[in-house]
Amino acid sequence: MDLSGESFGVVGALQAFPLRLAARRVASHGGWLHRGVTRATTTVVFGRTLLARHDEAEIERRVQAVPAAAKTLSENGFLRLLGSLPPVPPANITRHSILDQSGLTSPVFNMLALFDAFEHPAEPFSFHDVILAKKYAGLLASSAAWSAVARSIHQIGPVGSLTALTLRSTGTEKIVTQDAHSLSELDGQRLLALPEGEDEAEDYFGLAETAEAAGLLAEAATLYAHCSAIDPSDATAAFNTGNCLRAQPGG
């Protein structure tokens, strides 16, 4: 990896490690890393601590202030560039397609991607990313702020693990997960028993069928199983789960 001539400006502290360590890593590959943005900055890295320290309007202001000639990079994208995270898995879904399927607006999608809300930080995207985008669109439709979504999802580990969970908004700043019986914080803390209401079994079933048709049998099995957890009386979901598991190599 050769970063000669590259100047990285960091906006907001990195969650992964202190700035001085990042600067040493970049310098060892011939580049230069500094806090903030200068006229010489070629790439602006947005650290995820911005989500905890600033409100949505201030974060958007800082993103919009990036010079037109500079590239932007999420924290995970920066870590992958340094070899501190494994490469993203292969994918083949375009940005236009994921926007069309999810209903997210382009500005909101860009902000979520910049703060590592998807497995892939840029095109091409994966089927998991499509599922995540649809979940985020549902949260935003129920009054959640994009910054609350980005702030909450990193409590649970890799964002890909969110694809098998039902997410709920309890206001503009609070995202929780729902199982068949209750609501929980994304870090696992159990909340009050689940009030009666419409579930998402039909949406998950549709996603599962799409995944199965695309040959993504592991993903389809997980989604069908989630349908069964929401509605144990759904015999079709349970049957399809078994079929997908048996059809997998070694199944």
pLDDT band of 154, cuts 50, 70, 90: confident
Q: Are residues 124 and 163 in the same domain?
A: yes
Q: Are residues 43 and 12 in the same domain?
A: yes
206 found inside a domain: no
Distances from the Cα of 134 to the Cα of 40, 66, 221, 232, angstroms: 38, 28, 19, 24
1 found inside a domain: no
Q: Are residues 111 and 173 in the same domain?
A: yes
Helix (H) / strand (E) element for 103: namely none
Q: Are residues 120 and 67 in the same domain?
A: no
- Ranges of H-type helices in 65-156: 75-81, 95-102, 106-114, 127-141, 146-153
Q: Are residues 229 and 176 in the same domain?
A: no
51 found inside a domain: yes
pTM: 0.72
What is the rounded average pLDDT of the residues 155-173?
65
Number of domains in the chain: 3
pLDDT tens profile 94-126? 999 999 999 999 999 999 999 999 999 889 998
Q: Are residues 109 and 140 in the same domain?
A: yes
Domain boundary among 31, 56, 81: 81
Q: Are residues 103 and 156 in the same domain?
A: yes
157 found inside a domain: yes
Question: Does residue 198 register a pLDDT over 50?
Answer: no
Q: Give which of 70, 24, 63 is closest to 47, Cα–Cα.
A: 63
200 found inside a domain: no
| Gap between the Cα atoms of 170 and 139, Å rounded | 9
Q: Are residues 77 and 100 in the same domain?
A: no
Domain boundary among 81, 109, 129: 81
CATH of the domain at 50: 3.40.50.10190
| Gap between the Cα atoms of 25 and 232, Å rounded | 51
pLDDT at 217: 84
Q: Are residues 75 and 165 in the same domain?
A: no
State which residues form the domain around 216.
Answer: 211-247
Please give the single-letter amino acid code of residue 29.
H
Q: Are residues 156 and 185 in the same domain?
A: yes
Q: Are residues 76 and 99 in the same domain?
A: no
Q: Measured at the alpha carbon of residue 168, what is the angle toward residues 164 and 169, in degrees to the nearest 5?
A: 145
pLDDT tens profile 14-48? 988 889 999 999 999 999 999 999 999 999 999 99
Q: Are residues 101 and 152 in the same domain?
A: yes
What share of the chain has pLDDT > 70, as a percent?
80
What is the rounded average pLDDT of the residues 236-249?
87
What share of the chain has pLDDT > 90, as a percent?
42
